[in-house]
Each structure stands twice: as C-alpha cells, then as structure tokens.
Amino acid sequence: MHEWPKAQGREKQPMLKANHAVMLLKTDARDQAWIDAFSDAMPELEVRLWPETGDTSEINCALLWCPPPELFDGLDNLEVIFSIGAGVDSLLTCPTLPAHLPIVRMVEPELTAGMVEFCLFHVLRFHRLMHRFETQQAERHWEELPQVPATGVTVGVMGLGVLGQALARQLSALRYRVIGYRRGPGAVDGVEVFHGEDELEAFMRRSMILALLMPSTPETNRIINRETLRWLPVDAYLINAGRGDLVNEQELIEALDAGPLAGAALDVFETEPLPQASALWSHPGVYVTPHIASITHPPTACRYIVDTIRYYRQGEPWPHLVEIDRGY
Ligand code: NAP
C-alpha cells in the first residue's frame, strides 16, 4: 500500500465524476498491456486510446507519455494528468500542456525496484572491478587486483528523491558509505546530505562512484561537465540513469580519456537512440544500455493510478504532484 499525503487545508479541486471516469491513454507502445491492466484494476473505468478520443468533452483524466501538442485539443473537462514515466520532461515540454491542472508523477514499487537493481548492479561491478576482470579473462590473464571493502567506498547519489532514497537505503544495507545531493535541504536516514550549488563541489570530491538520479530541468542541464568532472576523485566511476542531458557527453569522453573517470555506465543519452557515430559505443570502460534502467509496469502502475483516483474521491489530495515552476 502506498503512503498518501494528508489533506492540509488545500483548496478542493473538482471531483472526477464519481462513477464515470473516462481516461485518455497515450502510451509508450504497450497499448494492450495498459488496457488489460486497467480493465483488471478498475473495470468500470472507460479507457480511450489516443487518437480514438470520441467525444473529448467526456474525458476527465489522461495517462500520457510524450503527448503531441494536438492531444489536448477539446479536452475541456480534463481534471488530472498522470505521467507514465517518473520523469516528466516530455510532458512539461509539450507547448499545449494545460499547466493549471494537477500532474501526478509515476511512483510505483516495480519502477523503483528496477532502478535500484540497475544502479546496484553497476555499483557492485565497478567496486569489485568486474569490468577489469572481464578484460583479464578475454586476455587469459591471471592477476589479483586489490579488493576494497564496501565500507571503504563512498557512493554519491545525485538526486535524493523517490528513486535516489530507495537506492541509498540498499547501498547502506550493503555497507557502502552513502552521500547524497539534492536541490533543497532535507535529512535522509543513513545519508550525509549536500544540497544546492554551493555544496556540489564538496559532494563530488567525495563521490568515488557517482550515480545520477536527477530529473531533466533547466537547472540540471549539463550539470556534469568538464569543470564538475574535475572535482571527482581519481579513478571515479559514473552511472547515469537519470536523463541524458544531465551530462555533457563530449566532456565526459574527455574525462574518460584523460581522467579522473575510470568507467561509466550510461542508460540515457543526449540523443536517443545513441547515434551510431558516438564514441561511447566502443569506449573501453563504458557500458551502454538503451534507456532500460527502469520501466513502468502496467499492472502495478494501473493499481497506483486507480488507488490515487479512489483516494482523491474520498477528498484526499493527489500524491506526487509535479511542481511546474521547478520543472519536476
Ligand atoms: P524525484 O522524486 O522528483 O527526485 C528528484 C531528485 O532530484 C530530488 O532529490 C531533487 O531535489 C533532485 N533535484 C532536482 N533538481 C535538482 C537540482 N537542480 N540540483 C540538485 N538536485 C536536484 O524523482 P525520482 O522519481 O527519484 O526520479 C528521478 C529521475 O530519474 C526522473 O526525473 C527521471 O528523469 C529518471 N528516471 C530514469 C529512468 C530510466 O529508465 N533511465 C526511469 C525512471 C526515472 P529535492 O529532493 O531537493 O527536491
């Protein structure tokens, strides 16, 4: 069961019609899986698959991924927008987005678990030097490399939101030293927290393995660049599972070639799919995956959406609302 924020004197928003919610669905290519999941989770919900909208005035909620600008035409009675992804950059950059409406972010347990698995996998790989043993095996070369205990490795989690905090908990359980970076102040159990631009350098100087789990916003754009990469310890590793535009890719390649980076695991890129000509494909020490660190699973995601609608109908506020001004 999810934890829901309590209503605190928020202005009541118009209720979705009690028994006839009509959902417009624009997915990421798994249409039937989403339709089946909604029919299991809330059979009475009428789901209309974009662009088969029918009478647009009947639609009062929408679940969206990368909406085209014309999608919002005629949706005059829309009350809430759900995002298929945890990241909302593709929604917020839609020029016709009705920004006065509540936008509910995707926060579901399987999505969180997938991201934790992805990041832990690469933290363990780099910490235990598996990438170097892979090279040694290919060369039939037997050599013991120094093995440092987890208590001697500081992992910097950049972005301490839903995903970053879940990762931090598991890293602590594996006895890593965990430091974290976020936009505003706020303590997190077991994590030494840094925040704001003034504390970025101190945070990066300690991060032997740096995991990026921040959203794409104007403030985070290319926050990892030549200058900030220089702050990392020698032979540091970078994991980017946030968004491609957090990193200046050309300057990342320079840091891999000349230091301080010893390797990187990249799931997201400035341009996706990663262009054939990119040097990252074949760079030694770089692991490329095609934006699969964590995907939203329709069955659990639909349960989350249906639960939020039911709670909202009881007078509770929408959870996990996007704040348009800050961009996430
Ligand atoms: P979230 O709960 O909104 O957390 C975002 C975190 O980033 C917060 O800790 C926030 O700081 C921090 N942040 C935002 N702007 C910042 C800035 N300018 N400087 C420093 N910190 C900043 O988001 P989430 O659910 O954890 O997801 C994080 C991101 O992961 C998503 O936005 C998405 O881009 C990415 N993602 C990728 C995949 C994939 O498959 N690769 C899958 C899911 C999500 P505060 O805590 O101070 O607000």
pLDDT digits (tens, 9 = 90+) for 221-252: 999 999 999 999 999 999 999 999 999 999 99
Q: How far is the CA of 229 from the centre of ligand 1 (A)?
A: 20
- Same domain? For 280 and 133 the reply is yes
Q: What per-residue confidence (pLDDT) applies to 15?
A: 56
Q: How far is the CA of 181 from the centre of ligand 1 (A)?
A: 10
Q: What per-residue confidence (pLDDT) applies to 29?
A: 85
9 is a domain residue: no
Asked if 303 is an active-site residue, the reply is no
Tens digit of each residue's pLDDT (9 = 90 or more) over 193-221: 999 999 999 999 999 999 999 999 999 99
- Same domain? For 141 and 220 the reply is yes
- Same domain? For 33 and 176 the reply is no
pLDDT at 170 over 90: yes
Q: How far is the CA of 10 from the centre of ligand 1 (A)?
A: 25
Domain that holds residue 43: 22-108+296-313
Q: The whole model's pTM is what?
A: 0.94
14 is a domain residue: no
Band (13; pLDDT cuts 50, 70, 90): very low
SS (H, E, C) the chain: CCCCCCCCCCCCCCCCCCCCCEEEEECCCCHHHHHHHHHHHCCCCEEEECCCCCCHHHCCEEEECCCCHHHHCCCCCCCEEEECCCCCHHHHCCCCCCCCCCEECCCCHHHHHHHHHHHHHHHHHHHCCHHHHHHHHHCCCCCCCCCCCHHHCEEEEECCCHHHHHHHHHHHHCCCEEEEEECCCCCECCEEEEECHHHHHHHHHHCCEEEECCCCCCCCCCCECHHHHCCCCCCEEEEECCCHHHECHHHHHHHHHHCCEEEEEECCCCCCCCCCCCHHHHCCCEEECCCCCCCCCHHHHHHHHHHHHHHHHCCCCCCCECCCCCCC
- Same domain? For 307 and 160 the reply is no
Q: Is 164 in the pocket of ligand 1 (CB under 6 A)?
A: yes
- Report the nearest-CA residue for atom 3 of ligand 1: 161
- Same domain? For 245 and 281 the reply is yes
| pLDDT (mean) for 132-143 | 98
Mean pLDDT of all residues belonging to the chain: 94
Pick the residue with more confidence: 288 or 10? Answer: 288
3 is a domain residue: no
Q: How far is the CA of 214 from the centre of ligand 1 (A)?
A: 3
Closest approach atom of ligand 1 to CA 158: 21
192 is a domain residue: yes
Q: Is 243 in the pocket of ligand 1 (CB under 6 A)?
A: yes
- Same domain? For 211 and 116 the reply is yes
Closest approach atom of ligand 1 to CA 295: 40
Band (10; pLDDT cuts 50, 70, 90): very low
- The residue to mutate among 92, 119, 182, 246, having the most atoms of ligand 1 within 8 angstroms of its beta carbon, is 182
- Report the nearest-CA residue for atom 23 of ligand 1: 161
Asked if 141 is an active-site residue, the reply is no
Q: Is 78 in the pocket of ligand 1 (CB under 6 A)?
A: no
Tens digit of each residue's pLDDT (9 = 90 or more) over 71-128: 999 999 999 999 999 999 999 999 999 999 999 999 999 999 999 999 999 999 999 9
- Same domain? For 185 and 167 the reply is yes
- Report the nearest-CA residue for atom 17 of ligand 1: 183
Closest approach atom of ligand 1 to CA 85: 43
Q: How far is the CA of 217 from the centre of ligand 1 (A)?
A: 10
327 is a domain residue: no
Residue 212: which CATH number? Answer: 3.40.50.720
What domain count does the chain have? Answer: 2
Tens digit of each residue's pLDDT (9 = 90 or more) over 23-81: 999 998 899 999 999 999 999 999 999 999 999 999 999 999 999 999 999 999 999 99
Of the residues 122, 125, 243, 297, which is catalytic?
243
